[in-house]
Amino acid sequence: MDHDRLEKQLAFFMECDKMKSIYRNTMLANQSRMETDAEHSWHIALMAMLLQEYAPAGINCDHTIRMCLVHDLVEIDAGDTFAYDTEGYKDKAEREVKAADRLFSLLPADQCKEFRTLWEEFEACQTPDALFANCCDRFQPVLNNIATNGHSWAQHHIRREQVEKRLSPIQQAMPQLWPYCTKLLDTAVEKGWLTAE
């Protein structure tokens, strides 16, 4: 056994424990508190398993799940940026690249490259697997908002068109799901959780 390798792997593993205390703007479905990055990542990985039959042709579900689990690790340093925070998005990429540089360098070289590649693939959203992972990442908060009477949408005065724009990869990559998304947004507008204009 390579003890140095193991020490690096376990140091990275324990560093990732910090994801459990990074809170997002999405409330848990039971409305008890906001969800953490770790909970979100697990939830979208599970979604990828469940919804793979609606995914783009030729996806590798195992690879997609790995991307889902890795995609928000950079938020350990960079923090969570709310999906509709235009100001926060101005330096999001810079913050996250700096975080990726530090975080993934904790790993042995081969795993550093593997994790960094997964994260970069998710961010670029150019492969079918990355597109599917991004769809799950965008769909899960919608379901939680519906379950919590539009909590984060109402709190931040989000408009339907903003959510539709955010969900546009689903319309492209998972067209079978788009009518369901539209129905959810119709409901949210009817109930006043989203503004129509």
The CATH number that domain 3-190 falls under is: 1.10.3210.10
Q: Does the pLDDT at position 197 exceed 80?
A: no
pTM confidence score: 0.95
Count CB-CB contacts under 10 A for residue 41. 22
Query: What stretches of the chain adopt beta strand conformation (E)?
Result: 23-27, 34-36
- Can you give the pLDDT at residue 86? 87
Q: What is the pLDDT of residues 126-184, one digit of tens each?
A: 999 999 999 999 999 999 999 999 999 999 999 999 999 999 999 999 999 999 999 99
68's tokens: 């889902």
**Residue 85's pLDDT band (cuts 50, 70, 90):** confident
In angstroms, rounded to a whole number, what is the distance separating the alpha carbons of residues 180 and 100?
35
Q: What is the pLDDT of residues 29-63, one digit of tens each?
A: 999 999 999 999 999 999 999 999 999 999 999 99
| Domain coordinates in residue numbering, the chain | 3-190
